[in-house]
A = this chain, B = another copy of it.
Amino acid sequence: MRLEQLRFFCAIVDNNFSVTRAADILHISQPAVSKQVAGLEQELGADLFIRASGRLVGLTAAGQATLARARQILIEVDELLHFGKGDTNAVSGRLVIATTHTHARYTLLDIIKDFRLLYPQVHVHLVQANPFQVHEAILAGTADIGISSERQDTKGLREFRGRDLGRSIIAPVGHPVFGRAPVTLKELSKHSLLTLDFSFPGGRAVGEAFENAGIEPNIVMTATDADVIKSYVRVGLGVAVLPTVTFDRTIDQSLQAADVTYLFGAAPTFVLVREDHVIRGYMSEFIRQIVPDNHFQ
């Protein structure tokens, strides 16, 4: 038996018995999950799921018993990996985070706020940089954790995948681009567009989506900073394509957003750590806030 099989099994249960959704969360193909669970069932010699008309609809008695044991095992493995060491209880120290503007300004804001409450003795130092610099900082050891949406060569690094960032168009309230949803690439190309720099999450993908469709976009501005872009959107320069998280309903009351993930795809979030860097204590806790499943290793 392998721990992965237990993780997959739990993931299916945690996702309303949808193999597809579980696979999605795990960033793995759906058949792989199916197969592993089938293998687990064979090894246990019992069906774990109640199957109705080709769908999974619930747990058998064996499945319920297995679920409880599986969760327990995964928790203990987790504890072994993260708290089984000497300085488990380290609550003071330093945590240098290298990340891009979008993550620093939006996705990490609440996470760091909560983290500081939990570990007031840990000095959190945030280094803002472009994805390449993030990568370099981790490799060089000048930062402990890198958070980026661009995938680079992972040699010498460990990489965990966090939540995907959807994308939205952002424009002044009432802007004609919101006329009739869902908007298409063709319609967008008629407007002046503002995007993140192509080395940033949401940058390159925008360009590529238009290119693949054979449509020439009218990009009037790129920047490395969503706030800068939003400022120009407010003064009517055009329509921004940004990660959805950069839109804050309370702050951006003069603006309006509409999800366009279906046009440009989602931007993944990668957490980078040096391969030889031991993840433990508060650092482990921090990563856990970003990586969706609790068992990030």
Residue in B1, B69, B79, B84 whose CB lies within 8 Å of A3: B1
Q: How far is the CA of A136 from the CA of B100 in the complex (A)?
A: 64
Is A297 an interface residue, CB under 8 A from the partner? yes
Is A95 an interface residue, CB under 8 A from the partner? no
Secondary structure class of chain A's binding surface, majority of residues = helix
- One digit per residue, 1 when the CB lies within 8 angstroms of any chain B CB and 0 when it does not, for chain A 55-90 equals 000000110011001101100110111001110000
Number of A positions contacting B (CB below 8 A): 29
Is A174 an interface residue, CB under 8 A from the partner? no
* Cβ A46 vs Cβ B77 within 8 A: no
Q: How far is the CA of A46 from the CA of B3 in the complex (A)?
A: 21
* Cβ B79 vs Cβ A76 within 8 A: no
Q: How far is the CA of A280 from the CA of B65 in the complex (A)?
A: 15
Residue in B45, B73, B77 whose CB lies within 8 Å of A85: B45
Is A43 an interface residue, CB under 8 A from the partner? yes
Q: How far is the CA of A297 from the CA of B40 in the complex (A)?
A: 12
* Cβ A43 vs Cβ B73 within 8 A: no
Q: How far is the CA of A13 from the CA of B182 in the complex (A)?
A: 63
* Cβ A297 vs Cβ B84 within 8 A: no
Which residues from chain B contact A3 at a C-beta distance below 8 Å? 1-3
Q: Whole-angstrom distance from the CB of A111 to the nearest CB of chain B? A: 23
* Cβ A45 vs Cβ B280 within 8 A: yes
Residue in B61, B66, B81, B276 whose CB lies within 8 Å of A80: B66
* Cβ B80 vs Cβ A69 within 8 A: yes
Besides A2-B2, A3-B3, A44-B81, 5 more A-B contacts (Cβ < 8 Å) are A1-B80, A1-B81, A1-B297, A65-B84, A73-B76
